[in-house]
Amino acid sequence: GEDVEQSLFLSVREGDSSVINCTYTDSSSTYLYWYKQEPGAGLQLLTYIFSNMDMKQDQRLTVLLNKKDKHLSLRIADTQTGDSAIYFCAESRAGGGNKLTFGTGTQLKVEL
């Protein structure tokens, strides 16, 4: 199958950590990505991880990859109201122009 799955909603309090999860099915994925979509805007690349890595940290963002379970997560430390958005994970597969297959998106709501 080609599904990339995410939970639809996540609500956190400002200052807490957010963890957004994603599962994918294609073990041949080369890169895995996290994109952020703010209201009324297109998607912006947040971070990515190569499939032979377990973890990548970039300021407040930590990406964890469990290749055995085909599970990807994005942790946002000290979540701010400006982090409220839809977050998409995506996997890149070889062939077909290295097509990106996107998950369903997780709506993150940050409450005061």
Partner 1 sequence: EAQVTQNPRYLITVTGKKLTVTCSQNMNHEYMSWYRQDPGLGLRQIYYSMNVEVTDKGDVPEGYKVSRKEKRNFPLILESPSPNQTSLYFCASRPGRNTGELFFGEGSRLTVL
Choices 11-19, 55-63, 67-75, 91-99 (CB under 8 A): range interacting with partner 1 = 91-99
> Going residue by residue from 31 to 70, which x/- string records binding to partner 1, judged by CB under 8 A?
---------xxxxxx-------------------------
Distance in Å from the first CA to the final CA of the chain: 40
Q: Does 99 bind partner 1 (CB under 8 A)?
A: yes
Nearest to partner 1 of 5, 54 (CB atom): 5
SS3 83: helix
Q: In what order do the strands lie in the sheet with 71-76?
A: 4-6, 18-24, 71-76, 61-66, 55-58
Q: Tell me how far apart the alpha carbons of residues 112 and 103 are, in angstroms, rounded to a whole number.
A: 28
Nearest to partner 1 of 76, 103 (CB atom): 103
Count other Cβ atoms within 10 Å, centred on residue 108: 20
Nearest to partner 1 of 79, 92 (CB atom): 92
Can you give the binding site for partner 1, defined by CB under 8 A?
4, 6, 8, 40-45, 88, 96-100, 102-105
